[in-house]
Amino acid sequence: MKIMGRVFRFGDDIDTDAIIPARYLNTSDPEELKKHCMEDADPSFPSKVGKGDIIVAGKNFGCGSSREHAPIAIKACGVSCVIASSFARIFFRNSFNMGLLIFESDEASGEIRESDIVEVDASTGLIKNITTGKQYQARPIPQFMQELIADGGLMEHIIKRGGI
Amino acid sequence: MGMTIAEKILAAHTDAREVTPGDIVKVNVDVALANDITAPLAIKAFESGKQAKPADPDKIVFVLDHFTPNKDIASANQCKMVRDFARRHELEHFFDAGEVGVEHALLPEKGLVLPGDLIIGADSHTCTYGALGAFATGVGSTDLAGAMLTAQAWMKVPESMKFVFKGELLPWVGGKDLILYLIGDIGVDGGLYRVLEIEGPAIDSLDVSGRLTISNMAIEAGAKAGIIRADAKTEAYVKPRARRPYTIYTSDEDARYVSIREYDCSNIEPQVAFPHLPENTRPISEVGEVRIDQVFIGSCTNGRIEDLRVSAEILKGRKVDRGVRCIVMPATPDVFRQAEAEGLIRIFLESGAIIGPPSCGPCLGGHLGILAKGEKALATTNRNFVGRMGDPASEVYLSGPAVAAASAIAGKISSPSEVM
Ligand code: SF4
């Protein structure tokens, strides 16, 4: 599967309070959450972002709380994938469990600019910057996580295989 | 090859005799925790399973501590959903109403988490229980739903980093200052995907409460767990509380660490983390003039009785500055009762502090102490991200309970020695 979208750039250590502030966690409704996605980092983000768009960030994306509301809010905005040089570990797990595609690449994270058009091959992790013509290979996804994705997430995996 | 505490606990919870960092393993969990924010999502995911019956209801712990007493209709509905589920499945370890305390203070106190346990929680500060010599880590709601269904979870075996705190603690320095110092040193992603194993004479000298504060903030360095070996003090704490057997693990002499760091506590002053990351630490002597509008003493980091004693010692006979709202929240009902019995509540009230109910309160900017635009707070909590305690243009500084109490009196961030 290939994804193509316009890039929104963020810096290092984007935390879960920036992705979805705790003041909105009295609900888990994706339609509500998406209205406030990334608003403490960029208040205009929810109104600018569109279907298929891609977030590119620096290191430690998604640090902080364990809230699954964070990947839910990002997905609900229409974002197709997140590329970062590294992800906080709970966010990393949650994204696989929730079916949000994420890719780790230092180079892609460092070189891709705001508003570039980028294409990602979800199965191989090959990232192509259509605007500049440069290509990057994301870090490989561990075998077990690939199984999770293939099964459609953790719950589906458990149901299908009768256990973890 | 020798193994670390973390590796031993993980191995003991799988079919394997040994585990190696990098392996992905299926583990049996002893405790699966969620709160009023994360349990509703976990329940929804759980109920998507075919025969949605908990594998072992006794392993599930739900605590309604974040937006309670409920602040609005939406949060009331979330809590009701959890409450109904708990009744339906007859969950014994369900904490609501007058039994609620901040989860990570409550579980150790109730003896629900023990040395050698493998604990997952849909809350990032689940790593707190590492202070008892357990392997405890935060996960998302779906992982938790998986554990409710199967009593299992998957884990990537992490590498361990060792930190040794040597020497004696300076006056007014506690667990909070040591962990802020460590995070200031390695940064908010310095422990990413790894276990912090924390030891040394200064750690031995801390009580269990101070150690819980340290492990609580392991996640603030990105770590998967923050483990402190259980000793005689740990045993004295857990023995009267435990209602099931537990195992104490120690790391082998030849266990592998990706790095070993030593700190000399004779150089570690009380610490303050500046906005907007816990790694922005400075010793109190280098803070300068920072006026504050609010002080919060509480949370899973520093809301235990030992923390309240330190604060009360400083506030006793003194007044909170008129420009400061000082909010004190005992972390659990037992802490509240004990503080009342020791006369600490009276000291707080006479100083002009506000006492709030055992809950997360202002820690995550949910309710009970939200900051306005441009306001500054000093809190004994663990996070000072943008907008964490209210308006995105407000600021949170982090410290231990001694500096927090002194600052409430002075109206600006201050060392206890400046007000006493
Ligand atoms: S006190 Fe703060 S950090 Fe601790 S569980 Fe509550 S919201 Fe989370």
Give per-residue pLDDT as tens, B245-296: 999 999 999 999 999 999 999 999 999 999 999 999 999 999 999 999 999 9
pLDDT reported for residue B287: 98
- Over the stretch B169-182, which tens digit does the pLDDT of each residue have? 999 999 999 999 99
Residue B322, burial from CB neighbour count under 10 angstroms (0-12, 13-18, 19+): exposed
Q: Do B142 and A155 touch (CB under 8 A)?
A: yes
- In degrees and rounded to multiples of 5, residue A102 shows phi and psi of -135, 145
- The yes-or-no verdict on residue B240 having pLDDT over 80 is yes
pLDDT reported for residue B27: 97
pLDDT reported for residue A96: 87
Tell me the domains of chain B and their CATH numbers: 5-262 (3.30.499.10), 275-419 (3.30.499.10)
Q: How far, CA to CA in Å, does A80 sit from each of A1, A6, A84, A122, B86?
A: 12, 10, 14, 10, 36
What is the rounded average pLDDT of the residues B402-414? 98
- Over the stretch B202-227, which tens digit does the pLDDT of each residue have? 999 999 999 999 999 999 999 999 99
Q: Report the separation in Å between the CA atom of B360 and the middle of ligand 1, taken as the mean of its atom positions.
A: 5
Instruction: Determine contact, residues B215/B227, Cβ cutoff 8 Å.
Output: yes
What is the rounded average pLDDT of the residues B378-382? 98
Residue identifier of the C-alpha nearest atom 4 of ligand 1: B300
The CB density around residue B223, as the number of other CB atoms within 10 Å, is 29
**B366 to chain A: which residues are within 8 Å by CB?**
22-23, 25-26
pLDDT reported for residue A85: 96
Helix (H/G/I), strand (E/B), else coil: A101: strand
What is the rounded average pLDDT of the residues B395-401? 98
pLDDT reported for residue A149: 76
* This prediction's pTM: 0.95
User: Which residues lie across from B327 on neighbouring strands?
Assistant: B296, B354
Read off the tokens for B288.
């300068």
User: Which residues lie across from A129 on neighbouring strands?
Assistant: A118
A44 vs B: CB within 8 A: no
Residue of A nearest to B75 (CA): A26
B373 vs A: CB within 8 A: no
Q: What is the pLDDT along chain A (164 residues), one digit of tens a residue?
A: 889 999 999 999 999 999 999 999 999 899 999 999 999 999 999 999 999 999 999 999 999 999 999 999 999 999 999 999 999 999 999 998 888 889 999 999 999 999 999 999 988 899 999 999 999 999 888 888 888 877 878 998 998 888 88
pLDDT reported for residue A164: 87
Distance (Å) from the alpha carbon of B232 to chain A's nearest alpha carbon: 32
- B193-222: burial string, b at 16+ Cβ within 10 Å, e else: bbbbbbbbebbeebebbbbbbbbbbbbbbb
pLDDT reported for residue B186: 98
pLDDT reported for residue B345: 98
- The verdict on the CB of residue B103 being under 6 Å from ligand 1 is yes
Distance (Å) from the alpha carbon of B106 to chain A's nearest alpha carbon: 19
B383 vs A: CB within 8 A: yes
Q: Is the ipTM of this complex over 0.85?
A: yes
Distance (Å) from the alpha carbon of B275 to chain A's nearest alpha carbon: 13
Q: Do B50 and A159 touch (CB under 8 A)?
A: yes
pLDDT reported for residue A147: 84
Q: Do B153 and A164 touch (CB under 8 A)?
A: yes
Residue of B nearest to A59 (CA): B189
- The yes-or-no verdict on residue B195 having pLDDT over 80 is yes
- The verdict on the CB of residue B125 being under 6 Å from ligand 1 is yes
Read off the tokens for A136.
């990057």
pLDDT reported for residue B411: 98
Which ligand 1 atom is nearest residue B364's CA?
A: 7
- The verdict on the CB of residue B102 being under 6 Å from ligand 1 is yes
What is the length of chain B?
Answer: 420
Q: Which of B125, B129, B327, B388 to mutate to test the pocket of ligand 1 (most atoms within 8 A of CB)?
A: B125
DSSP tag of A138: P
Q: Do A68 and B188 touch (CB under 8 A)?
A: no
- Over the stretch B146-165, which tens digit does the pLDDT of each residue have? 999 999 999 999 999 999 99
Distance (Å) from the alpha carbon of B193 to chain A's nearest alpha carbon: 6
pLDDT reported for residue B48: 86
- Percent of chain B topping pLDDT 90: 97
> Is residue B7 very low, low, confident or very high in pLDDT (cuts 50, 70, 90)?
very high
Gyration radius of chain B's alpha carbons: 20
Testing the interface with B: which of A44, A86, A90 to mutate, by most B Cβ within 10 A?
A90
Q: How far, CA to CA in Å, does B95 sit from each of A157, B1, B316, B356, B359?
A: 31, 43, 33, 18, 11
Q: Report the separation in Å between the CA atom of B363 and the middle of ligand 1, taken as the mean of its atom positions.
A: 6
